[in-house]
Amino acid sequence: MTSLNDDGLRGLWRQDSDALGPLPLAEVKSRATAFNRAIGRRNRREYIAVAFVALIFGLYAAILPGMLLKIGSLLMIGGGFVMAWQLSRHTSRPDPGAEAADVHAYYRAQLVTEERMLARVDLWYIGPLIPGLAVFMAGLASQFDSTLGFAAFTAIPVLAILGVWLLNRRAAAMLREQIARLDAATEGQ
């Protein structure tokens, strides 16, 4: 049987109670501002990625042989634009007026908006890209002599999509924890 260090347990208890304690107004404002900046940076990266996808698949549509590759490329461009539109439509936006009215409610609303968006990443982010990717990969299948080679090549986007989905689900769970802590801290006031 292992013995537990009482100081370590007290430290964990203090750390946890501090995390659930009331947050000073300045701290909530600071977190809300940092959150807004992080969302803005993420959105800019996504818009740049969509522009890159549009450029690359536009070139593919122009130069690759085969109708499936061309149609798949155009569907990928369309899917990227739908994804960017969904991102701009569903993402948190800074609202200085709302922030001034009730900082806690404003910050909580931002967290809830992002959590919902990340939890449904399969619908608005991955979903619009799947038809184009499927048609493009079908076009590529005709270029491969080996089924094993095509399967190995197909594994790359499948693993990337799975990784995106898992990372976003994890981020949504972390936001749910932050919302619960903010709610607990607000109830304590």
Q: What is the pLDDT of residues 50-96, one digit of tens each?
A: 999 999 999 999 999 989 999 999 999 999 999 999 999 888 666 66
Domain-embedded: residue 37 = yes
Query: Is pLDDT of 15 > 70?
Result: no
- Return d(Cα 8, Cα 146) in angstroms, integer: 58
Domain-embedded: residue 16 = no
| Mean pLDDT along residues 178-185 | 86
- Residue 29 to residues 15, 17, 23, 32, 159, Cα–Cα distance (Å): 21, 21, 10, 5, 38
Query: Greater confidence, 160 or 188?
Result: 160
Tell me which residue range forms the domain holding 78. Answer: 23-187
Domain-embedded: residue 4 = no
| CB within 8 Å of 90: residues ≥ 6 apart | 113, 116, 117, 124
Q: What is the pLDDT of residues 93-132, one digit of tens each?
A: 666 665 556 778 888 889 999 999 999 999 999 999 999 9
- Return d(Cα 92, Cα 103) in angstroms, integer: 15
Domain-embedded: residue 12 = no
Domain-embedded: residue 18 = no
- Return d(Cα 186, Cα 179) in angstroms, integer: 10
Q: What is the pLDDT of residues 130-174, one digit of tens each?
A: 999 999 998 988 877 778 878 888 899 999 999 999 999 999 999
Domain-embedded: residue 8 = no
Domain-embedded: residue 155 = yes
Domain-embedded: residue 34 = yes
Find how far residue 181's CA is from the centre of its chain: 21
- Return d(Cα 189, Cα 178) in angstroms, integer: 17
Find how far residue 75's CA is from the centre of its chain: 22
Residue 188 has what pLDDT? 59
Domain count, the chain: 1
Query: Is pLDDT of 14 > 80?
Result: no
